[in-house]
Structure 1
Amino acid sequence: MNRLIFGAALAAALSMGAAARASVTVIGGGLAEACSKAALSGKAEIRLERICTEALEKETLSSRDRAGTYVNRGILKMRRANWEGAQSDFNEAVREKPDLGEAYANRGAVFIGMHKYADSLPDLNKGLALGVEAPAKVYFDRALAYEGLDDAKSAYFDYQKAVELSPDWEAPKTELARFHVERKE
């Protein structure tokens, strides 16, 4: 049986914005595509949110692209720690397209940002079950949630899964380095 020992770094990970975001790619030109690119850019400027809002108000979008634009605007809001605004956008995305895994995964990340770790797990799990473009990010977020719930073993295995799925991504490797695994006789 393995026993896990680790240092507490969850608060540091959250304060550095380590919770991962899963954007939705929208193509075809126009404001919705610009919103998608803004979410992918890593920037958090309020003017980028306005582009997303304008896309939602002025463009005729498919259900997927409309939900994706809500997700992308929610990501921009998360980057500024506007948890309530982001949650509202992810709720709208779920209403628009209930099978969009990224909407659930990001809503789970909002709960992590709000330190509501137990509340994040159903959404993170549903996002994984529905499928997301970057599952490593969701496993990473779920690991953060497990750490917040003092479940080191589950956190360890989710960090491992994130590394397995995205071996070049440093964030889960850094988190795994904090763990010490010992064999119990």
Structure 2
Amino acid sequence: MRRLMAGFAAIAAVALSAGAAKASVTVIGGGLAEACSKAAMAGGSAQRSEAICTQALDTEMLSPRDKAGTFVNRGIMKLRRGEMPAALADFDQAARYEPKLGEIYVNRGAALIGAHRFADGLADLNRGIGLGIEEPAKAYYNRALAYEGLDDVKSAYFDYQKAVELSPGWDAPKQELTRFHVARRD
């Protein structure tokens, strides 16, 4: 297996331009926390959407899971704007409330990949996958990015394949696979 597209900079560009996939957390029951959840799921990253999440955290009586989910959703908005340290802080807060919520670690992994901390990102992604998540294809896609950052092309290839298998209609992992060439060794 050989990488067709050379260069570490290309991996970083993929991680930041196409973006590591983010896994939001559904919060229901009305109120600001649900509005925050909907904004995160819709791809929101505006400061006003983040402010809704902050207001929910500051004023609403939330269960530990919903509080964690709201921190995750706010962290995703920060992640989308490239604010890695702030996003990581929100994911750390989420883990204090619901340490077994896999989406926390998938998103921490995405933020760490964005910060070029691939080994740390890989550890969080593995933890998130192990805990179980609603959208595992995103975790495998992110893990493939981490493997590429660590120059483990074979593992990256298999994780892109797994992402396609889990979400056949998602184009991002299919695009990544076009960069690979598989050949038999004699």
CA contact (8 A) 2:12 2:116 kept: no
With normalisation by structure 1, the TM-score equals 0.96
**Whole-angstrom CA distance in 1 between matches of 2:88 and 2:12:** 21
Q: Secondary structure at the match of 1:110?
A: helix
CA shift for structure 1 position 16: 1.1
1:154 to 2:152 alignment: no
Partner of 1:175: 176
Q: Secondary structure at the match of 2:24?
A: coil
CA contact (8 A) 1:90 1:103 kept: yes
Q: Secondary structure at the match of 1:89?
A: helix
Of 58-67 and 4-13, more deviation after overlay is shown by 4-13
C-alpha deviations, 1:45-88, integer Å up to 9, x for none? 01111000000000000111000000000000001111111000
Partner of 2:114: 113
Give the unaligned 5+ runs of structure 1.
Answer: none
CA shift for structure 1 position 160: 0.3
With normalisation by structure 2, the TM-score equals 0.96
1:30 to 2:28 alignment: no
CA contact (8 A) 2:68 2:93 kept: yes
**Whole-angstrom CA distance in 2 between matches of 1:15 and 1:112:** 9
Aligned-residue identity in percent = 63
Root mean square deviation, CA, Å: 0.9
1:87 to 2:85 alignment: no
CA shift for structure 1 position 34: 0.3
CA contact (8 A) 1:6 1:152 kept: no
The one-letter code sitting in structure 1 at the alignment partner of 2:45 is A
Give the unaligned 5+ runs of structure 2.
Answer: none
**Residue 4 (structure 1) aligned to one of 2, 23, 26:** 2
- How many residues end up aligned between the 2 structures? 183
